[in-house]
Amino acid sequence: MKTRQKSYVQKTSAMLQGQEDQNDMEPLQVQLHQSINNQLDEQFEESLLIKVKDTYSGEIIIQKLVASEVWFLEKTKKVLVEINGNGQGNDNGANLLVRFLGELAKKSEFCPISIERWDMMSEESIKAQWKNIEDRFEFDYAAGIKWVKTTLGDRWKYYKYRLRCKHFKPNKSKEDILANPPSGVPPVDWIAFVNYYNNDEMKKVSERNTRNRKKLKVIHAGGSKSNARRGRQMELQLDRPICRGEVYLSTLRKKSGDYVNDEGKAVADKILQHLPQDQERVATLGVPSKINAYPDDAIGKVHGAEHSGRVRGIGVGASSTEVFETRKNFAKIVNVGAASQNNAEDLHKYVCALEEKLNGYEEIKEQLAQTKEELLETQIELANLRSFLQRKFGDELAIFIQEGMIETWIKSWALAVGLKPKVWRVYTRKKKKHDVSNGGEERRCVHEKHESVLYMWLEGMRKNH
């Protein structure tokens, strides 16, 4: 296999050596080498030992698979994928899923290249993509869906980039490119793809991206292995939670042990100054099965604040808000526990404040109970009054109520006898303690005293009306 790879690379290198201006051809050379490596990876893809679950029987077996074989799995079988605390796949099943997403991204019926941007993909295409994934892989879908969709989008963008590297040559006209579409791509999609990337605006964007890429000083030697998988392997080897500084440093060294370049060594030296503090922190506060990251850790101190949508050293699918918010909430719990030990006085004040609020609540509860009792008494009084009026006026009562006279008469009567303007009151007269006989309190209803007065008053109002 290595002999075939070497032969293929040598032939291509010989073609590049014939160019007159090596400096001008450097970006093309890089692109060609990347294309060669990708083709070789596809040709000689290694099988992976993964867990496959029979959804019918629940049995889990371990077998070797490559991405192309996943398409032909039995309907009852699914590849198991482990998702870490950052919502990323971190085992061989995840590696196979990423390779499968690379193949899915090339299928025009699911991921058409005629779409200009990934976020413009139709809802129908998104549902079809997810169905292909869900039918063949099993994992915590809620936790890993962002990582999967982001990875698929990246595979799709990379596939389009490779198409441009392969077909968009400086010596080819637009007509020549359109006349030679790649296999598996519908002509309509190819026309839209070529038209989009051949306009002047996109050419400027491509040139700007090429210039920005050349400004990259620190490259990594991590290869195709994701940081999530790398971090999981380090965690199992060290038998403890790991921090992102440890994972980041491992990507700055080659297999030989040398740093990728002088800039990489300079960055590594700065990170190593703060790394012991991070290792001590994750030893006590670290969460297993994830890459632990903090805004003020070694990476944060060396590189500064994170850019939107990603976190250095964590990998695809993890944003700074999600990663640091989780750590912040966890830290709050720890800080509260420390405060309760170091500041007993503050804790005592807090407890006293809670007790005071509880006492206030009890007072409000008693007031509500008293109000409820008064409301019940009022309802009884209203029922008594209605019964009294019904006896005195009979059928005429309904007419008086309809015309609104009863309320006016009752208020006038109440004022005349010196009562508050409530429809009916039952008074309680409490005797002084030294006057109380036979124990307790004497309660006397005095509404009988006013009954005759009320009757005379209402009778006179009725006649006047």
pLDDT per residue as tens digits for the range 42-80: 445 789 999 999 999 999 999 999 999 999 999 999 999
Is 157 among the domain residues?
Answer: yes
The domain boundary, picked from 292, 307, 342, lies at: 342
Is 29 among the domain residues?
Answer: no
**CA 237/CA 151 separation, integer angstroms:** 27
Domain co-membership, 246 together with 207: no
Greatest CA separation found in the chain? 127
Q: What is the mean pLDDT of residues 235-256?
A: 93
Domain co-membership, 56 together with 204: yes
Report the pLDDT value the prediction gives residue 76, as an integer from 0 to 100. 95
Per-residue tokens: 58: 């629940």
Domain co-membership, 265 together with 367: no
Domain co-membership, 335 together with 352: no
The domain boundary, picked from 322, 342, 362, lies at: 342
160 vs 41, 116, 166, 209, CA distance in Å?
17, 10, 10, 15
Is 445 among the domain residues?
Answer: yes
Closest-CA residue to 82 (of 10, 151, 143, 5): 143
**Cβ proximity of 414 and 454 under 8 Å:** no
Domain co-membership, 175 together with 105: yes
Chain centroid offset of residue 48 CA: 31
Backbone torsions φ then ψ of 454, nearest 5 degrees: -65, -40
Domain co-membership, 307 together with 350: no
Q: What is the mean pLDDT of residues 2-6?
A: 43
Domain co-membership, 299 together with 204: no
Q: In total, how many domains does the chain have?
A: 3
Q: Decide the pairing of beta strands 77-80 and 60-65.
A: unpaired
In which band, very low, low, confident or very high, does the pLDDT at 154 lie, cut at 50, 70 and 90?
very high
Q: What is the mean pLDDT of residues 254-259?
A: 90
**Cβ proximity of 422 and 429 under 8 Å:** no
Report the pLDDT value the prediction gives residue 397, as an integer from 0 to 100. 66
Element (H, E) at 54: strand 48-54
Domain co-membership, 266 together with 369: no
Domain co-membership, 245 together with 137: no
Is 156 among the domain residues?
Answer: yes
Report the pLDDT value the prediction gives residue 379, as an integer from 0 to 100. 73
The pTM of the full predicted model, rounded to 2 decimals, is 0.62
In which band, very low, low, confident or very high, does the pLDDT at 428 lie, cut at 50, 70 and 90?
very low
| Average pLDDT score over the chain | 77
**Side chain identity at 254, as an amino acid letter?**
K
Domain co-membership, 362 together with 378: yes
Domain containing 108 equals: 45-214
* Number of Cβ within a 10 Å radius of residue 358: 9
Q: What is the mean pLDDT of residues 173-184?
A: 92
How far the first Cα of the chain sits from its last, in Å, is: 116
Domain co-membership, 322 together with 397: no
Report the pLDDT value the prediction gives residue 188, as an integer from 0 to 100. 95
Is 20 among the domain residues?
Answer: no
17-31, 160-174, 242-256, 356-370: segment of lowest average pLDDT: 17-31
**Cβ proximity of 25 and 16 under 8 Å:** yes
